[in-house]
Structure 1
């Protein structure tokens, strides 16, 4: 029988419409709860929900602060928009966070904002960032994964002459704590992105909601892995599930479906504002199935 990885549960605190100290409180609490093994932020520069003029924190800066304030949680940005930062700069930022955290980073990365929600598009013009077409963005992501891995692992400076990225004398020093490098999580569901996942990812994340579509996308990823001679089981399947605070049974059912579909890496998106002891509630009501462990 094939080996089934044990479930690993985490939380997502989208850093919008909240205060820094609210996020810090939740992460510090989660860091003390063994059932919660990982924690995530997102990568938007302006809110994509609620008050469009409300607060939104830059993900990687906040992640570094939270890395310094926690000791156990694996952590990351789900997922970094490859449209925001040149890949060599992102490699340097991620290395810094891996060192600050003592080797707990998972690098989450993706193509960047899709057409939906429309609110996600305004942040590009508002920050003077170009928004290229999808084909260019997908090609850029593939090159970015190559550049980042090389900067993390190669001992000599190198040049890179890609279609979308050109580097001269590229070199990463210091190296990340994790060897050969931090795990790479790629998020997305399009067939073009899944081909990049097959080649580059250690983990693949997809938003939940339509479990049948999730299963189909996972089967497509299996096929792409087989085509390039990679074992599909080498890529951990990860899913983001939105938490229903007032209907925990709905979230528990979604967790059960995801586990049955072969997605052992579960990211539970917490709605803001965050109640007191929300991380303990997640462990008791969602992870332990309503049977608290004290």
Structure 2
């Protein structure tokens, strides 16, 4: 049976609104997970509007929920040094009592102008695709080692150079929090085949989504990994006005083998929106 979650992009919305929705969802068993995204400036609506930083907000929400699994869909590897990110994630896993799903990807699409501007605005370098993908592969290796190795280690790669790297305390989950890799490019799918417990892709063009899933199967086979060991996850936008279209998209995605469904809630959030999601979208398709 598929699992269902919600995603509340923390832009053009206040903290109290996000907290209200997450607390409501935490009490509704049909909703099993909840997500934020990782941007530093809005990518929709007023480009100068408000946006909350994802990991800081996630830690606050982790402390004020009890049941939901939680994460970022997905963290940009371009924003934070991977060893620092591993430490942040371990902390959130501890704060949440072991409920973190660690979402990570290469970072913002270079053809998205509202996302591209985040880098200059925060003094961050924007590396081109080849370097960004290479750095992402090394980040996945380093983060996993930081979570599992019991002694400090050195790592000297093409992109990362760490001396005496160590993470203590470890995450509560053993051997580590599930790793959710988001992306659709062939290069990212190769990394997902090696590192992912869950692979996520935005919905929309289901035929393309299915082709990407088949490509992930092939890359798993090439390295001797069982493709079924990677849960397939899809993000689907929710329409409050046309729930039937959302229900149809859910049924199609589940039928195509996507067992992990994230329902993106547009802001502003209606009153009791989590219960509406459970009643109108989840229960009706099960």
User: Match for residue 61 of structure 1?
Assistant: 56
- Quick check: 1:122 aligned with 2:117? yes
Post-superposition offset of 1:289: 1.5
Post-superposition offset of 1:203: 0.2
CA distance in 2 between partners of 1:247 and 1:115 (Å)? 32
Count of residue pairs the alignment pairs up: 286
- Quick check: 1:151 aligned with 2:146? yes
- Quick check: 1:169 aligned with 2:177? no
In structure 2, the CA distance between the partners of 1:284 and 1:290, relative to structure 1 (3 Å rule), is: farther
Residue of 204, 218, 229 corresponding to 2:224? 229
- Quick check: 1:113 aligned with 2:108? yes
- Quick check: 1:254 aligned with 2:265? no
User: Match for residue 187 of structure 1?
Assistant: 182
- Native 8 Å contact 1:76 1:107 kept in 2: yes
List gaps (5 residues or longer) in structure 1.
1-5
- Native 8 Å contact 1:95 1:176 kept in 2: yes
What SS class does the counterpart of residue 185 from structure 1 fall into? strand
1:230-289 deviation line (CA, Å, top 9, x unaligned): 000000000000001100000000000000000010000000000110000000000011
Post-superposition offset of 1:116: 3.6
TM-score by length of 1: 0.96
What SS class does the counterpart of residue 289 from structure 1 fall into? helix
User: Match for residue 271 of structure 1?
Assistant: 266
Residue of 212, 219, 222 corresponding to 2:207? 212
CA distance in 2 between partners of 1:114 and 1:73 (Å)? 29
- Native 8 Å contact 2:251 2:285 kept in 1: no
Which runs of structure 2 are paired with 1:65-76 in the superposition (5 Å)? 65-76=60-71
TM-score by length of 2: 0.99
Which runs of structure 2 are paired with 1:83-102 in the superposition (5 Å)? 83-102=78-97
CA distance in 1 between partners of 2:111 and 2:2 (Å)? 30
- Native 8 Å contact 1:284 1:290 kept in 2: no
User: Match for residue 129 of structure 2?
Assistant: 134
CA distance in 2 between partners of 1:187 and 1:284 (Å)? 28
Post-superposition offset of 1:115: 2.4
- Quick check: 1:287 aligned with 2:286? no
Which runs of at least 4 in structure 1 moved beyond 4 Å after TM superposition?
Answer: none
CA distance in 1 between partners of 2:64 and 2:190 (Å)? 36
- Quick check: 1:39 aligned with 2:28? no
Residue of 131, 151, 160 corresponding to 2:155? 160
What SS class does the counterpart of residue 126 from structure 2 fall into? coil
Q: Cα RMSD (Å) of the superposition?
A: 0.9
What SS class does the counterpart of residue 119 from structure 1 fall into? helix
